[in-house]
Amino acid sequence: MCCVGFAPNITFCIQEMKLISSFFSLSFRLVLPNKSIFYPPGMSESIIPPEVRPKPAVPAKPPHVAAPSPTAPHGPSGLGGGVGVDRVPGLGHSGGGSTLLGYIGIDTIIEQMRKKTMKAGFDFNIMIVGHSGLGKSTLVNTLFKSQVSRWSSGWGGEHKIPKTVEIKAVSHVIEEGGVKMKLTVIDTPGFGDQINNENCWDPISKYINEQYEKFLKEEVNIARKKRIPDTRVHCCLYFISPTGHSLRQLDIEFMKHLSRVVNIIPVIAKSDTMTPDEKNEFKHRVRKELETYGIEYYPQNEFDDDMEDKNENDKIREAMPFAVVGSDKEYQVNGKRVLGRKTAWGVVEVENPNHCEFALLRDFLIRSHLQDLKEVTHNIHYETYRARRLNDNGGLHPISVNNTQESNL
C-alpha cells in the first residue's frame, strides 16, 4: 500500500497500481472474437487446455436409397443443419419437423410389408348373379384370362336349369409376376329363371351372411388361427339384360336387398346387341332408376376418403353401369391377336374401348379398386353384421351350411 506523504515511495506506488489494474483487466477478458484464451498472470497455458469437442459421425445412406432432392428443405444452421440432412414432418416443435442426423430406414417399411404380403398371398371372392344366357362365366374367364368359371372347371356336364337358386363356388390359385391370388368365383345358377321369382335372392343373401358368420366364429375363438380363411364375398357382379328399355322389377328388388350386405357392381351384359345411341340412353335410364329407388352400388359416395378419391370415383360412377362384352376366343385383327366376338360385320374387340367398356371394368375391378373392395367388405359390411350379431341374444349360435356346395379345385 503506497503512502502519499513519502516522496521516495511515489514511483513504487504508481507501478504497484498499474500492476493491480492489469491483473483485473486480464482476469475478466476470457474469450475474444478470435477465440484465443487469456490467462491471469502466473498461470501456465498448459494447465487448462482448450476443450475440443469432436463432431458426431453421421451414418451414410445405403446405396439403394435415393439421395434427397436439392430443393428439399434442410435443417437450421445449428445441430444437424447442412446438406444431406432430412427433416421429418410432424415431429419436434410446432415450427417444423425434427431434424435427422442421418439415414434411419423408415422408408423400408413399405418393402417389408410387400414381402410379407407376397408370402401370405391374396384372397379375392367374386359372385356373379344374373339369369341364364347373359355370358356370366365367359366374362369372368375374360376378366382373369383363364378358365376360372364353374363350367370351365368340370361343372358343365349338365346344362339343365335348376328348380331353385343354387350356390356353387370354385376356387383357383392364379399367379402373375410372382404374386399369387386365391380367386373364388361364386355362381348362382337358377336365379331369375323361374316362373315365380319371388324372394329368389334369399339363398344368395343367406350364403353371404354364412360367410360373415364363419369369419366371426373364427375371430371370437380364444385360440384363433394366425390367418383366418376369408370366404366373404368381396364383390357381386350383377348382370343386367340388354333390353334397351328399363330395369326389371327383379333387378330392382335384388339390388335393393343385397346392396346392404355386399358390394354390388351392375354391368350391362352383351352390350354389342345395342347401337351406341341405344347403349348410352339405356345406361342413363338405368342410373336414373337406381337413384330413384335409392339403390347404392359400389363405389358408394360416403366411402370416399378424400377429394382425390372422390374425383376418381365420380368418373367411375358416371361410366356405370359398364356395358361389356365377354369372349375367351382370339382373332387376327390388323396383324394382332385380340379377344373378341366375330360377327358378319367384323370382330367386336373386347379390350377396345371404342367397342365396349370391358377395359374400364377390368381396370376398375382389378387394377385400382380390388384392395378397396376387400376393405369396404371388412370395415363396413362385415362390421355391420358383426355388431348386429353380437347384440342379438348376447351370443353366437351355429348356422347350418350343409346346403352350400363348394369345390376347391
Q: Which domain holds residue 130?
A: 111-149+164-393
Q: Are 326 and 138 in contact (CB under 8 A)?
A: yes
Cell triple for residue 258? Answer: 343385397
Q: What does the pLDDT look like over 304-327, one tens digit per residue?
A: 888 998 999 999 999 999 999 999
pTM here is 0.72
Mean pLDDT score, 82-100: 52
Query: Residue 245 belongs to a domain with what CATH number?
Result: 3.40.50.300
Q: Are 357 and 271 in contact (CB under 8 A)?
A: yes
d(CA 158, CA 190) in angstroms, rounded, equals 13
Which of residues 65 and 289 earns the better pLDDT score? 289
Looking at the structure of the chain, the number of domains it has is 1
Mean pLDDT score, 383-409: 65
Helix, strand, coil percent content, the chain, rounded in steps of 5:
35, 15, 50
> Does residue 409 sit within a domain?
no
Report residue 230 CA to chain centroid gap. Answer: 18
> Does residue 10 sit within a domain?
no
> Does residue 59 sit within a domain?
no
d(CA 87, CA 94) in angstroms, rounded, equals 13
> Does residue 360 sit within a domain?
yes
> Does residue 36 sit within a domain?
no
Residue 31 above 50 pLDDT?
no
Q: Extract long-range pairs of 29-32: CB within 8 Å, 24+ residues apart.
A: none
> Does residue 401 sit within a domain?
no
Question: Mean pLDDT over all residues of the chain?
Answer: 79
> Does residue 243 sit within a domain?
yes
Which of residues 51 and 259 earns the better pLDDT score? 259
> Does residue 60 sit within a domain?
no
Cell triple for residue 47? Answer: 494447465
Please say whether the dihedral angle defined by the alpha carbons of residues 380, 251, 203 and 154, taken in this order, is positive or negative: negative
Question: What local confidence, expressed as pLDDT, does residue 257 receive?
Answer: 94
Question: What local confidence, expressed as pLDDT, does residue 284 receive?
Answer: 95
Q: In b/e form, how buried is each residue of 286-322, taking b as 16+ CB within 10 angstroms?
A: bbeebeeeebbbbbeeebeeeeeeeeebeebeeebbb
